[in-house]
Amino acid sequence: MTTIKDIAKVAGVSVTTVSRALNGYPDVSEKTRQKIIEIAKQLNYSPNTLARSLVMNKSKTIGLLVSGMNHSAIKDNFTFEVLTGINDYIAKTDYDLILFSTNSTKQREKTYSQLCRERRVDGVILQGIKTDDPYLTEVVESDIPCVLIDIPIQSDKVGYVTTDNVLGAKKAVQHLIELGHENIAMMNGHDYAFVSKQRLEGFRQAMEEANVAINDDWIVNGEFSEEVAEKKALELFSKHREITAIFCASDLMALGVVKALKQMGLSVPDDVSVVGYDDILLASYVSPSLTTIAQNRFQMGYEAASMLVEMLEGKEAKVVMLRTQLIVRESTKKNQLLKGRM
Amino acid sequence: MTTIKDIAKVAGVSVTTVSRALNGYPDVSEKTRQKIIEIAKQLNYSPNTLARSLVMNKSKTIGLLVSGMNHSAIKDNFTFEVLTGINDYIAKTDYDLILFSTNSTKQREKTYSQLCRERRVDGVILQGIKTDDPYLTEVVESDIPCVLIDIPIQSDKVGYVTTDNVLGAKKAVQHLIELGHENIAMMNGHDYAFVSKQRLEGFRQAMEEANVAINDDWIVNGEFSEEVAEKKALELFSKHREITAIFCASDLMALGVVKALKQMGLSVPDDVSVVGYDDILLASYVSPSLTTIAQNRFQMGYEAASMLVEMLEGKEAKVVMLRTQLIVRESTKKNQLLKGRM
DNA sequence: ATGAAAGCGCTAACAG
DNA sequence: CTGTTAGCGCTTTCAT
């Protein structure tokens, strides 16, 4: 493998000059530069980034720490879409992405900063980790520039990008209220997700502002899983037939809820209206198609990558909050019980 | 940042001893080892893999070169599922994945081996590149261990994993023939994909073996795109109403074909039977659900990663061919025109 | 405009 | 069992 030493030898100059010529420094005569470039090409030279990184103390790599790249995450390709956005931005820069292959067992062996320092990544993008993950405290304590996705934690070196989950959830619930629903349930994710807390907050705000009573028994956790949500919905609706609408913190769970309802012989949306969250691909294909809150996952990744690269160039960590959009489809309908009244 | 030098100083030994102790060499007394490990922990030491890679001349990283990580690839998350499989295997090893962020413009600037040598990757997994991609010839010429996905090219350092596309397509078409169809069309991908060639071959074999006439005008290319397939199907079926069945080289294209047929007022499967290929998530959710050939994309990634790591440990490059499975759903049905006869 | 020399953090003969 | 020495390929003072 060719090194600058080889080039130097052939060109009859020192390695210093080769290095400077190849890196475009001005203090080398145009003639020598051309000669060196020519020789480099002939010798099929590629710089060794490892050596360069070692001496420059920066690697031009960005670490990607995602939890949610597993077999079960395929239906809801949140992770992939974010990744696509990240990749799209990074492709325009001279950084490369290194995907930390950490499964949960491995994660416990190595700390966050160990992971990052070993590979000497310049910055990190974190996605999909839970609120109780020990990595989270490390992120803030460490001085490695980091951008979080959907995790509202900020510090000097840590920024984040998210959507307005409170407002998003609020829009969803307001939609149900406007349709005349008053007995509204919520299928939330789990207690270890920031988005769950925020979407619950949005649910509460919408209900309170409209003076609709909140029944805490009607708020259950579906673990962001289609199957769990189905089971929980079965329980919920068999106990409380009076519920006419339900807001789900993810489309996947909404799918589970619809399944449960169908099993019970209830019609969506005639008997129960269902709103999801995410606007996953399936949402528009299933029957009935899902009313939902859309968020642009591609953009989330893109913005995260963009912010991180800016931070690496000296800019401040910041917060980016993206818009959501209510998409009305077939799974919601006017409250049938109120038909006479309205 | 702590280095082995710091540890050596504190422990009162040489860096060599530290290196050996930390790397588990046997030729260091248990007492010194324990002391060194203890100090390393206290000093919060992480090894610098860059330095290690430089001297050892291997980086413990695997390059991932995928074309198809873009916004449009979200419906058909082939890429993501393969990636998940790769990640799943790699997570069990001490390798990390580096995602080469190359868009098509950037790709033309740097050659394949430049890309790999710069980052000094130990091996590469390649996915989704076309048959006419200049990278392909480079892969074979280069001596970097490489595993291809769905590209049947083999050499000393190059293996591949794929599914039996000929047989897969054959099964699909035989299914249609068994249902009594004789006027069978094919919506293929494009000429620059190996799988297209193979699936076409399977189509031909099934037809010939059953003595069903092949009409070359009924074989069209949909570019693996839902939209293009829809357009092409519109043309095809308006010219040739006699076609009663069509085999599509991807589910996405099958979706487009179904759309076209619906637009023309034709029913699937009553008027036309449609078979897809891939068994993407949507296949079972759309209406009518899609009869298709399933392939295990997760496993493809997993096997590819596994093969590459084995090669890096000295084993031979090989070929892995995975099974496919015919999944019969609602989009295919007995040929109605033959009802009287059969 | 160019070169000599030092050093990034680590491993690997070799010698003792 | 341990230390000395050299060197991986590159950048960067500091001279000249």
Enclosing domain of residue A244: 165-296
Q: Decide if A117 and B80 are in contact by the 8 Å CB cutoff.
A: no
Minimum-distance residue to D5 (CA–C1'): B16
Instruction: Check B97 against A98: CB less than 8 A apart.
Output: yes
Out of B258, B280, B296, pick the residue that ends a domain. Answer: B296
In chain A, the number of structural domains is: 2
Closest residue to C3 (CA, C1′):
A14
Q: Is the CB of A9 under 7 A from strand C?
A: no
pLDDT tens for each residue of B39-56? 999 999 999 999 999 999
Residue A340 lies in a domain: no
A26: CB within 7 A of chain C nucleic strand: yes
Q: Amino acid identity of B63?
A: G
* A126 belongs to a structural domain: yes
Which of B97, B102, B285 lies closest to A286 in CB terms? B285
In whole angstroms, what is the distance from residue B48 CA to residue B238 CA?
Answer: 65
Q: Are B223 and B288 in the same domain?
A: yes
**Structural domain contains residue B9:** no
Amino acid at A268: V
How far apart are the CA of A45 and the nearest CA of chain B, in angstroms? 8
A184 lies in the same domain as A273:
yes
Query: Helices H, strands E: what count in chain A?
Result: 13, 12
Same domain, B195 and B306: no
Task: Kindly write down the DSSP assignment for every residue of A187-209, as one continuous string.
Answer: EE--TT-HHHHHHHHHHHHHHHH
For residues B248 and B250, give the distance between their C-alpha atoms in angstroms, rounded to a whole number: 5
| B309 and B277 housed in the same domain | no
Same domain flag for A276 and A175: yes
Our measurement of CA B119 to C1' C12, in angstroms, reads 23
- What confidence score (pLDDT) does residue A253 get? 97
Is the same domain home to B218 and B270? yes
Q: Are A155 and A177 in the same domain?
A: no
Query: Domain for residue A18, yes or no?
Result: no
Print pLDDT tens along chain A (342 aa): 999 999 999 999 999 999 999 999 999 999 999 999 999 999 999 999 999 999 999 999 999 998 878 776 777 788 889 999 999 999 999 999 999 866 666 666 788 999 999 999 999 999 988 888 889 999 989 999 999 999 999 999 999 999 999 999 999 999 999 999 999 999 999 999 999 999 999 999 999 999 999 999 999 999 999 999 999 999 999 999 999 999 999 999 999 999 999 999 999 999 999 999 999 989 999 999 999 999 999 999 999 999 999 999 999 999 999 999 999 999 999 998 765 444
For residue A8, tell me if it sits in a domain.
Answer: no
Q: Identify the pLDDT of residue A342.
A: 45
Average pLDDT along chain B: 93
Q: CA–CA separation, B57 vs B52, rounded Å?
A: 8
Q: Residues of A with CB below 8 A from B83's CB?
A: 69, 80
Tell me the average pLDDT across B313-342: 88
B36 assigned to some structural domain: no
What angle in degrees, to the nearest 10, is found between the helix axes of B112-119 and B134-141? 50
A207 & A94 share domain: no
Residue A129 is predicted with a pLDDT of: 87
Residue A20 lies in a domain: no
Are residue B178 and residue B224 in the same domain, yes or no? yes
Q: Phi then psi for A192, rounded to 5 degrees?
A: -100, 20
Both B111 and B255 in one domain: the answer is no
Distance CA B219, CA B337 (A): 22
Whether A69 is covered by a domain: the verdict is yes
Residue B114 and residue B156 in one domain = yes
Per the listing, tokens 């990074």 go with A90
CATH of the domain at A226: 3.40.50.2300
Residue B99: its chain A contacts at CB < 8 A?
A: 64, 87, 96-99
A158, A303: one domain: yes
Q: What angle do CA A143, A146, A148 make, to 5 degrees?
A: 140
State mean pLDDT over B64-78.
79
